[in-house]
């Protein structure tokens, strides 16, 4: 049985203590916001809220959840996240499947272009002009199409596809499968861990994205939740979500905190459900056999 010597034990113990302390420190701001979202306005303004709610109330969440504009922005965010992630996974995996084939002519050139795009992203003004000329300004497609294939995620998928034994795809071709049938029936089912990993990256990017919406959208009805959240925090527009005289007594800061929690919790709930596939997918393709 393997036994660690005393210096290594001290080193491992120190690592556990340090990482645990670092994790607690990183969680403290979120815990403070969570406590503030359940606290009364006076307690927040007086700075009495730390890690536990003071003057417990649900009015902050009532002001947010009873606001029709907030629900609409939530629906827009869900729509962009679900549709955008599905399209991201489809086109990223298709391109990666082709570039993983060593016999593909011009493969090195295309991979070089991908690396160049990852290192040197497109400037803001040319990107805006392209979106304008394509007629996507003030449409939700402007938030989905430009980032359809992420260079980093594409490289992850290429590395994973290269670990799939050639014997599997060769056997499928012998059985009469076309490249698309092989991709759909054999490669994709084997790629679930890797797809889960990059799918989480894409989904979080869509959920948290607001800069593109600020640049390309002019209709407030198309704003995703992160833009509404920015309006609350930066523009101090929280009073607009208060629906009654009783809610007007609540702190603007409390409503901001409640909105932050509402916008954050869905992403936090997704990760535990896909944790097993995510960890496996993050490791697959990192070492090629």
112-137 pLDDT, tens digit per residue, is 888 888 888 888 888 889 999 989 99
Taking residues 99-106, report their average pLDDT.
84
**Residues near 207 by Cβ (< 8 Å), separated by ≥ 6?**
77, 81, 226, 266, 267
Residue 236 has pLDDT above 60, yes or no: no
> Hey, CA dihedral for 77, 81, 82, 83, is it positive or negative?
positive
User: Both tokens of residue 219?
Assistant: 């209709």
> What does the pLDDT read at residue 247?
46
> What does the pLDDT read at residue 4?
58
Comparing CA positions, the residue from 230, 79, 205, 207 lying closest to residue 140 is 79
Residue 286 has pLDDT above 50, yes or no: no
**Residues near 231 by Cβ (< 8 Å), separated by ≥ 6?**
237
Percent of the chain with pLDDT over 70: 86
Range among 24-28, 47-51, 76-80, 281-285 rated most confident: 76-80
Taking residues 50-71, report their average pLDDT.
85
> What does the pLDDT read at residue 285?
47
Exposed, middle or buried by CB within 10 Å (0-12, 13-18, 19+), for 252? buried
> What does the pLDDT read at residue 122?
80
Query: What CA–CA distance (Å, rounded) separates 37 from 289?
Result: 50
> What does the pLDDT read at residue 145?
92
> What does the pLDDT read at residue 279?
59
The pTM score is 0.80
Q: Considering the chain, what is the average pLDDT of its residues?
A: 82
Query: What CA–CA distance (Å, rounded) separates 270 from 276?
Result: 12
> What does the pLDDT read at residue 83?
95
Query: What CA–CA distance (Å, rounded) separates 203 from 191?
Result: 17
Q: What is the pLDDT of residues 256-266, one digit of tens each?
A: 888 888 888 88
> Hey, CA dihedral for 202, 206, 208, 212, is it positive or negative?
positive
Phi, psi of 194, deg, nearest 5:
-70, -40
> What does the pLDDT read at residue 246?
43
Report all structural domains of the chain as residue ranges with CATH numbers, in order of start.
60-283 (1.10.3720.10)
> What does the pLDDT read at residue 287?
45
Is residue 255 within 8 A of residue 232, CB to CB? The reply is yes
């Amino acid at each position: 049985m393997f036994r660690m010597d005393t210096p290594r034990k001290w080193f491992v113990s120190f690592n556990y203590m340090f990482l645990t302390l670092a994790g607690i420190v990183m969680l403290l701001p979120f815990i403070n916001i969570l406590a503030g979202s359940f606290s009364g306005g006076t307690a927040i303004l007086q700075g009495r809220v730390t890690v536990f709610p003071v003057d417990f109330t649900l009015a902050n969440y009532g002001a947010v959840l009873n606001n029709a504009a907030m629900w609409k922005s939530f629906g827009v965010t869900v729509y962009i996240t679900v549709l955008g992630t599905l399209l991201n996974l489809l086109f990223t995996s298709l391109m990666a499947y082709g570039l993983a084939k060593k016999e593909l002519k011009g493969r090195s050139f295309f991979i070089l272009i991908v690396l160049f795009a990852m290192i040197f992203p497109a400037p803001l003004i040319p990107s805006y002009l392209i979106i304008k000329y394509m007629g996507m300004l003030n449409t939700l497609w402007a938030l989905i199409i430009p980032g359809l294939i992420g260079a980093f995620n594409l490289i992850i998928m290429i590395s994973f596809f290269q670990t799939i034994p050639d014997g599997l795809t060769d056997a499928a071709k012998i059985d009469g499968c076309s490249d698309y049938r092989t991709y759909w029936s054999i490669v994709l089912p084997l790629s679930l861990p890797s797809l889960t990993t990059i799918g989480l990256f894409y989904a979080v990017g869509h959920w948290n994205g607001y800069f593109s919406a600020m640049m390309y959208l002019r209709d407030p009805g198309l704003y995703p939740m992160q833009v509404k959240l920015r309006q609350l925090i930066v523009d101090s527009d929280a009073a607009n979500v208060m629906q009654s005289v009783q809610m007007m007594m609540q702190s603007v800061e409390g409503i901001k905190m409640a909105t932050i929690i509402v916008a954050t919790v869905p992403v936090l709930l997704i990760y535990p459900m896909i944790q097993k596939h995510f960890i496996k997918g993050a490791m697959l393709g990192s070492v090629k056999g």
